């Protein structure tokens, strides 16, 4: 086959002979088959025939396995879709705003997403601004009645709400001023 080594086949009889060639061990392509008979040291004339081998199916030596590439493309597409879905789901869970850095040069950190808590209405009406000297206004606050937050506790809770992004700086400053005016 194709000028390669001869295959010895034992034949019997004087009629026509047949040989089953295992075509799956050859590539799907044109080939040249050469045949000669040998009897007792005498050789016949070599006969040459051109044939085309065309095996059907996958796994034929020399034939490019296109099905592997198609399978790889499908797997890659599925992985990409899954990654996009995971990224989209992750984005939904992240807050939209970020906290300001506490010191210059620090990167911004994402805020923790927590449920919004409404501000509690003040139990007592707000006092008018005092005309007392500054040192009197800065005196420690009296203990809050039982069941009511003290002014420092309210200031702390107010700062927490601002830090969580639930109050703007302007809202925080106004409410802080109101609480400090009570002191």
Q: What are the DSSP calls for 62-131, one per residue?
A: TS--HHHHHHHHHHHHHHHHHHHHHHHHHHHHS-SSEEPPSSTTPPPEEPPP----PPPPPSSPPPPPP-
pLDDT in tens, 95-121: 554 455 555 556 665 556 566 666 666
**Cα distance from N-terminal residue to C-terminal residue, the chain:** 108
The residues, ordered by sequence, that sit 6+ positions from 110 with a Cβ below 8 Å of its Cβ are: 94, 95, 98, 99
pLDDT tens sequence across 64-92: 677 888 999 999 999 999 999 998 888 77
15 versus 151: which is more confidently predicted? 151
User: What pTM does this model have?
Assistant: 0.31
- Both 68 and 47 in one domain: the answer is no
Percent of the chain with pLDDT over 70: 65
* CA quadruple 36, 39, 43, 47: dihedral, nearest 10: -20
Report the distance separating Cα 142 and Cα 70, nearest Å.
78
Q: Per the domain annotation, does 39 fall within a domain?
A: yes
Listed residue (169, 170, 172) closest to 156, CA to CA: 172
Q: Are residues 41 and 70 in the same domain?
A: no
Model confidence at 135: pLDDT above 90: no
Claim to verify: residue 47 and residue 11 sit in the same structural domain: yes
For residue 16, tell me if it sits in a domain.
yes
The percentage of the chain sitting over the pLDDT mark of 90, rounded to a whole number, equals 11
Q: How confident is the model at residue 136 (pLDDT cuts 50, 70, 90)?
A: very low
Residue 161's domain comprises 139-183
Q: Identify whether residues 154 and 173 lie together within a single domain.
A: yes
Confidence of residue 139 (pLDDT cuts 50, 70, 90): very low
Domain tally for the chain? Answer: 3
Tell me whether residue 106 is in a domain. Answer: no
Does residue 102 fall inside a structural domain? Answer: no
Q: For 176, phi and psi rounded to 5 degrees?
A: -60, -45
Closest CA to 21 of 52, 58, 47: 52
On average, the pLDDT of the chain sits at 75
Same domain for 12 and 38, yes or no, is yes
Evaluate if residue 160 carries a pLDDT over 60.
yes
Burial 37-63 (b: 16+ CB within 10 A, else e): eeeeeeeeeeeeeeeebeeeeeebeee
- What pLDDT shows up at residue 152? 83
Please check the confidence at residue 14 and state whether its pLDDT lies above 50: yes
């Amino acid at each position: 086959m194709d000028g390669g080594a001869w295959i010895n086949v034992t034949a019997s009889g004087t009629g026509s002979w047949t040989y089953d060639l295992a075509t799956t061990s050859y590539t799907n392509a044109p080939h040249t088959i050469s045949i000669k008979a040998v009897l007792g040291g005498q050789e016949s004339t070599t006969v040459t025939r051109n044939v085309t081998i065309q095996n059907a199916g996958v796994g034929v030596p020399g034939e490019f396995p296109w099905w592997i590439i198609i399978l790889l493309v499908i797997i890659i597409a599925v992985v990409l879709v899954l990654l996009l879905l995971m990224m989209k789901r992750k984005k939904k869970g992240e807050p939209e705003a970020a906290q300001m850095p506490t010191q210059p040069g620090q990167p911004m950190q994402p805020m923790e997403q927590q449920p919004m808590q409404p501000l509690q209405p003040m139990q007592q009406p707000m006092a008018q601004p005092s005309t007392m000297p500054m040192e009197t206004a800065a005196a420690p606050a009296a203990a809050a009645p039982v069941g009511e937050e003290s002014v420092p506790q309210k200031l702390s809770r107010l700062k927490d709400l601002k830090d969580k992004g639930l109050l703007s700086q302007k809202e925080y400053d106004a409410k802080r001023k109101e609480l400090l005016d009570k002191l």
